[in-house]
Structure 1
Amino acid sequence: MHLHLLQHSPHQGPARLADWLTSMGHSHTVFHLDQGELPPRLADGDALIVLDGGHAGDAPAWERRERKLIDQALDGRKPLLGIGYGARLIAEALEAPVSRGTYAETGWHDVTLAPDSPFDLPETFEAFMWHREIFGLPEDALPLGGSEASPLQGFAWDGGRVVGLLCHLEATPGSVSAMLDHLSLPPGSATSPHAQTRQEMVANPRRFDRLAPLLDRVLTQWLRTATT
């Protein structure tokens, strides 16, 4: 399969996603929308991934074209995956509410699977967080589950063909260091009881290793919809 990835920031790239796709024999192209590259034609790929990288202030010029592409993907039959900001765009396109959460959530937090979750994941697992914005559950979607600060950490729609993830299963030590070095923390992080320090985020490399099999489960389950 050939996948298209939409990137919005030079410091929030595919991270472990790229390694996974290559290891599974899939090819991919990253479109750097923030650098002026146009979104791809949906027909030129087999699946679409919309990465994190939220913006502040006025909507950038490329967002209208990106939203149109997401609408086309939702109306089509190709797998669509969004992470962070990408998941929020998908939730909005499915007419779910998107808003600022009560607290910023950064670092490592436990996620508890919802009773009706369709995701092939442990009942409780630890994931990396980097957000303040949250979204509601789209109509006809099934929930992933939630953390203490964010009751909805993701959803699956249309039999799992469309997936939105608030948490970051693709995070690596390098990707987290890049965000910490170049990006501002999500608003409210300084006073949030759910925000960790840089030292806490990077202290234990094994945490990142434990994300790898979780990402593998989600991506394998998601891309399986392309052949069913």
Structure 2
Amino acid sequence: MSRVTAGKRPRILTVLHQELSSPGRVGHLLVESGFDLDIRRPPLGDPLPDTLAGHAGAVVFGGPMSANDGDEFVKRETEWLAVPLVENRPFLGICLGAQMLANHLGGSVGSRDDGIVEIGWYPLKATEDGKKLMHWPEMVYQFHREGFSLPSDATLLATADHYPNQAFRYGDNAWGIQFHAELTRVMMQRWVVRGAHRFELPGAQPGRDHLGGRMIWDMHLKRWLTEFLATVFGRPEAA
């Protein structure tokens, strides 16, 4: 893998799980702040680097699969998380990525016994540790059927009623969030169309509420994401 060299923008390893998946707003904000994206798709055979010495950090995004699936790439990705943890490199797991991190750290991933999901906009509450870090949005966009337990020695940053573990920090540089702040409007429209069959699940909201809620709460979510990414990855040093 190539390394960061003088005169080149530092890269963020960007792990996606479908052929047409996009890093969305997270990608846009990272590029705008001075990073380049090194996009890998492990389900399609892309390798993950043996070290992050050539990267400024890594983001593992969500996907329709479960962190408990027996697919080879799921196991390989989960085990690979030792790389950023051992090297103490900035790492962010979003939804599936956070669940993989929880599994890697000895936690568990699973659905609620009553089958309730979070698909749509739901309230979020920062913990005292979270409040010390930054101001958090009151409503966030969700699209998941499973949650995760809080790994041992992790710090809970945000919670919610149905899935109490919404955001956590482990050590200095590893972060996991259950909700989705990365969706552009086009991405949300695509999710609403392709995921419509899931709106019948217990607790899920109808598609019109997804797009309607966006007009009310998305600007606050974007503002939070901008600050959060700067907290996780910092700013690239001037070349």
Normalising by structure 1, report the TM-score: 0.87
Give the paired residue count: 222
| Deviation (angstroms), 1:41 | 3.7
Does the 8 Å contact 1:105/1:132 carry over to 2? yes
Match of 2:191 in 1: 179
Residues 1:211 and 2:225 aligned together:
no
- Shift of residue 125 of structure 1? 1.4
Cα distance, 1:205 vs structure 2: 4.1
Q: Are the aligned partners of 1:52 and 1:83 in contact in 2 as well (CA < 8 Å)?
A: yes
Q: Which has the larger radius of gyration?
A: 2
CA deviations over 1:157-203 (Å, ceiling 9, x no partner)? 113x10000011112211222222334655xx52423x111111012
Consecutive unaligned residues in structure 1, runs of 5 or more: none
Quick check: 1:12–1:175 contact (8 Å CA) kept in 2?
A: no
Does the aligned pair in 2 maintain the 1:2–1:46 contact within 8 Å? yes
Q: Structure 1 residues 35 and 27, CA, compared in 2 at 3 Å: closer, same or farther?
A: same
Query: Structure 2 vs 1, CA of residues 121 and 183 (structure 1 numbering), >3 Å: closer, same or farther?
Result: same
> Which runs of no fewer than 5 residues in structure 2 stay unpaired?
1-9
One-letter code of the match for 1:201? Answer: H
Q: 2:175 aligns with which of 163, 167, 181?
A: 163
Task: Report the CA distance shift for 1:173/1:225 in structure 2 as closer, same or farther (over 3 A).
Answer: closer
1:45-102 CA deviation, whole Å, 9 max, x = no partner?
1201110004169532322331232122211110111000010000111111222124
Say whether 1:18 aligns with 2:32.
Answer: no
Work out whether residues 12 and 179 of structure 1, in 8 Å CA contact, stay in contact via their aligned partners in 2.
no
Structure 2 partner of 1:111? 124
Higher strand share: 1
Output aligned runs, 1:62-101, within 5 Å: 62-101=73-112
User: 2:142 is matched with which residue: 129, 135, 139?
Assistant: 129
Give TM-score, length-normalised by structure 2: 0.84
Compared CA separation, residues 220 and 29, structure 1 to 2 (3 A): same
For 1:143, give the aligned amino acid.
Answer: L
Quote the Cα distance in structure 1 between the aligned partners of 2:47 and 2:197. Answer: 28
1:6 aligns with 2:6: no
Letter aligned with residue 61 of structure 1: E
- The whole-number CA distance in structure 1 between the counterparts of 2:188 and 2:151 is 29
Give the counterpart letter for 2:45 in structure 1: G
Identity percentage of aligned residues: 21
Query: What is the CA–CA distance in structure 2 between the aligned matches of 1:31 and 1:83, rounded to whole Å?
Result: 15
1:142–1:157 Cα contact (<8 Å) kept: yes
Native 8 Å contact 1:121 1:217 kept in 2: no
Q: Which amino acid aligns with 1:121?
A: H
